[in-house]
Structure 1
Amino acid sequence: MASSKVVIRQPQPQMISQVSNDWHSGICDCCDDVPECCFAFWCCPCFACKTSRDYGQPLCLPLLEIFGGLVPPITMSMRVQMRERYGIKGTMCRDCVYATFCTSCTWCQMSREMKRRKFQVVLVSAKQT
């Protein structure tokens, strides 16, 4: 008598992500989050510290830019790191220009991007047996 094995594979949850390799908002899209842009405009150092903490970096890291010079090094490096982490297209030259001439707008854009890319993983149709 031949023995036969029956193998049953349970369906595995799949997460489909539609993540773009572009910034979800432009550098000047302040109307996307008016309260945050007002906060960044009126107190950019405080907003930058909050955003840095939310990104997982030390809270007061942006305050080191006081000793920076022409190009804000922390703003630029955070923007470059965020582009690398999220796979966003861009160049260091553009990051440098935005960090230097649009510092508060750059911090706002990074904050909006972090909010947009955070998502909850939800399992649908999961049953307990």
Structure 2
Amino acid sequence: MSTKMVVRQPQPMMVSQESDEWSSGICDCTQDMPECCLAFWCCPCFACRTTKRYGQCLCLPLLDMFGGIPLPITMSMRVSMRHRYGIKGDMWHDCLYSCFCVPCSWCQMSREMKQRHIPIVLVNARPQ
């Protein structure tokens, strides 16, 4: 019998059959006009709603109001979404879009979630 101790368990990884590119560009906000208008006129509300649909805390984007530039929550959501969906990209573009194209960035993330339709599955979750 081996006495090898496992220090780190393998983490679940989402494998997507979709493209490794964003399904729409950063300036394609007009593809969904109601969301575009909500993001433009009330970006904090839109960001909170998008974050909730993504499976994170509803009020998380409100922390961006205290963060300044770059907006840490917007940027971390973009990075998380790229990793979850296997989208190519880099921190430079995430930072750029999070600082100067905030409503467009949130619209792009919302469109991506609609396009991918990948549900969040909890592995080894036990009911309490």
Global fold match (TM > 0.5)? yes
TM-score, normalising length from structure 2? Answer: 0.78
Write the letter of the residue equivalent to 1:99.
Answer: S
Q: Shift of residue 108 of structure 1?
A: 0.2
Which whole-Å CA distance do the structure 1 matches of 2:52 and 2:78 have between them? 14
Which whole-Å CA distance do the structure 2 matches of 1:34 and 1:111 have between them? 12
Correspondence 1:51 to 2:50: yes
Alpha-carbon RMSD: 1.3
Tell me the percent identity: 68
Matched with 1:87 is 86
Unaligned runs of 5+ in 1: 1-16, 121-129
Which whole-Å CA distance do the structure 2 matches of 1:117 and 1:31 have between them? 19
Secondary structure, aligned partner of 2:115:
helix
TM-score, normalising length from structure 1? Answer: 0.78
Correspondence 1:70 to 2:45: no
Which whole-Å CA distance do the structure 2 matches of 1:75 and 1:104 have between them? 10
Write the letter of the residue equivalent to 1:54.
Answer: R
Q: Shift of residue 70 of structure 1?
A: 1.3
Matched with 2:22 is 23
Matched with 1:102 is 101
- Residues matched between the structures, number: 104
Deviations 1:40-71 (A, max 9, x none): 00000000000000000000000001110210
Deviations 1:56-96 (A, max 9, x none): 00000000011102100000000000000000000001100
Secondary structure, aligned partner of 1:89:
coil
Larger Rg: 1
Which whole-Å CA distance do the structure 2 matches of 1:79 and 1:30 have between them? 16
Q: Shift of residue 18 of structure 1?
A: 4.2
Classify 1:61/1:119 alpha carbon distance in 2 versus 1 (closer, same or farther; 3 Å): closer
Unaligned runs of 5+ in 2: 1-15, 120-128
Matched with 1:13 is none
Runs of 4+ in 1 over 3 A off after TM superposition: none
Secondary structure, aligned partner of 1:58:
coil
